[in-house]
Amino acid sequence: MYRTRFAPSPTGYLHLGHAFSALTAAARAEAAGGRFLLRIEDTDRSRCRPDYEAAIYADLAWLGLDWERPVLRQSEHLADYSAALDRLIALGLCYPCRCTRGDIRAALAAPQETGAPGHAEAAVYPGTCRHRAMAERGPGDAIRLDLAKALAAVSDPARLGFRETGIRPGRYTIDPARLLADTGDIVLARKDIGAAAYHIAVVVDDARQEITEVVRGLDLFAATFLHRLLQELLGLPVPDYHHHRLIRDTAGKRLAKRDDARALARYRAEGATPADIRRMVGL
Ligand code: GLU
C-alpha cells in the first residue's frame, strides 16, 4: 500500500512551501488509496520549540489535512538513530571531527587546498580530521561519514539507484565522483547533542514508517543520493522519491522558515482561506 509522509522540523512556522509539500503528499496518498503520515523532525533540541510543533498541527488541520496518530516524533527515538550510527562506526566508515565552521572556512580558503578561495560555503568538508580514529573522539566532536570509504564498502555504488516520480522523473543512479565532489564527508552526528543528525534519522524513519514514496522539495534532491547510500549500508528498504518544485517568493528566492511574512498562520490571521492558500501555491 502507498505510504508517504510530511516531515517538518518545528524550528519555525510553516510557510507556503510547507503547505505545498503537505498538500502534494496528501493528494498523492489519496489518489493511490494509501496513507499520509506526519513526522516531526525534532532531533535538534536547541532549535525546536513546542509552540512551533503545536502550530504545525493547527496549520495542517486548518488546511483540511488529516494524518495518522500517533505522530512519529524523532526526539522519542534517538536511541534508534544512535544504533544506526553505531553500525556505520562499526563498519569503520566514520571519524570524529573537531573542526569549527571557522576552521573549515580557513582550510577551504587556503589556495593549496582547493584552488578556489571564496567558495567556502558551497564547498564540501576538506577532510582535515579524516585521519582521526573513532577511539580519539572527544566530547565536543561531531562524527562524519568517510564518504570514499562508504562508497568502497558497497560492491558497486554506481548500481545503487532510485525511481523519481517528481518533476525530474526517471531512474537515477549514484555517480560516486559527483557525490564525493558535491556532498563529501557529511556530518552524521552533531557535537552539541549526542544524537544523529538529519541524514541518519530520515533513512531510519522512512523505513520505520514503511514509506513507499518520499514526497519533498527539490532542494533535497542531491541529498537523496546520500540517503540511498546510507540505506544500502544500513540494509534499509528503498522508497521511490517525488521531489516537487519549490515555492519561491516574488524575488524568486526559496522560502525559508525565518521568512515569517509567508507563514501560513499569518495568512490565516489576515483572513485567507485554505482555498486561497491552494491558489497561491498553484494547486
Ligand atoms: N525535515 C526536513 C525539513 O523540514 C524535511 C525532510 C524530508 O522531507 O526528508 O526540511
Would you state the pLDDT for residue 111? 59
Mutate to test the pocket of ligand 1, among 5, 9, 225 (most ligand atoms within 8 A of CB): 9
Give the three cell numbers for residue 25: 503528499
- At 136, is the pLDDT very low, low, confident or very high (cuts 50, 70, 90)? very high
Name which of 50-54, 112-116, 165-169 the model is least confident about: 112-116
**CA pair distance 38, 225, nearest whole angstrom:** 23
The SS3 of residue 162 is strand
* 49 has a pLDDT exceeding 90: yes
Report the chain's mean pLDDT, rounded to a whole number: 91
How far from 38 is each of 32, 60, 114, 210, 275, CA to CA, in Å? 17, 10, 41, 13, 22
At the top level of CATH, the class of 1-76+248-283 is alpha beta
- At 135, is the pLDDT very low, low, confident or very high (cuts 50, 70, 90)? very high
For atom 10 of ligand 1, the residue with the nearest CA is: 8
Nearest to 245 by CA among 278, 215, 213, 275: 215
Would you state the pLDDT for residue 134? 96
* 118 has a pLDDT exceeding 50: no
Q: What is the CATH number of domain 78-205?
A: 3.40.50.620
Would you state the pLDDT for residue 121? 43
Q: Model-level pTM?
A: 0.92
- Whether the Cβ atoms of residue 275 and residue 31 lie closer than 8 Å to each other: no
Within 194-244, strands assigned E span: 213-217, 240-244
* 260 has a pLDDT exceeding 80: no
What is the chain's length? 283
Would you state the pLDDT for residue 259? 62
* 249 has a pLDDT exceeding 80: no
Mutate to test the pocket of ligand 1, among 13, 74, 198, 243 (most ligand atoms within 8 A of CB): 198
Residue bearing cell 559527483: 178
Q: pLDDT tens for residues 62-109?
A: 999 999 999 999 999 999 999 999 999 999 999 999 998 888 888 888
Q: Do 78-205 and 1-76+248-283 fall under one CATH topology?
A: yes
Give the three cell numbers for residue 111: 589556495
Q: pLDDT tens for residues 197-243?
A: 899 999 999 999 999 999 999 999 999 999 999 999 999 999 999 99
- Parse the chain into domains and list their residue ranges: 1-76+248-283, 78-205
Task: Write the DSSP assignment of 10-74 as a string of letters.
Answer: SSS--BHHHHHHHHHHHHHHHHTT-EEEEEE----TTT--HHHHHHHHHHHHHTT----SSPEEG
For atom 4 of ligand 1, the residue with the nearest CA is: 8
Which residues does ligand 1 sit against, CB inside 6 Å? 7-9, 41, 202, 216, 220
* 175 has a pLDDT exceeding 90: yes
Would you state the pLDDT for residue 113? 42
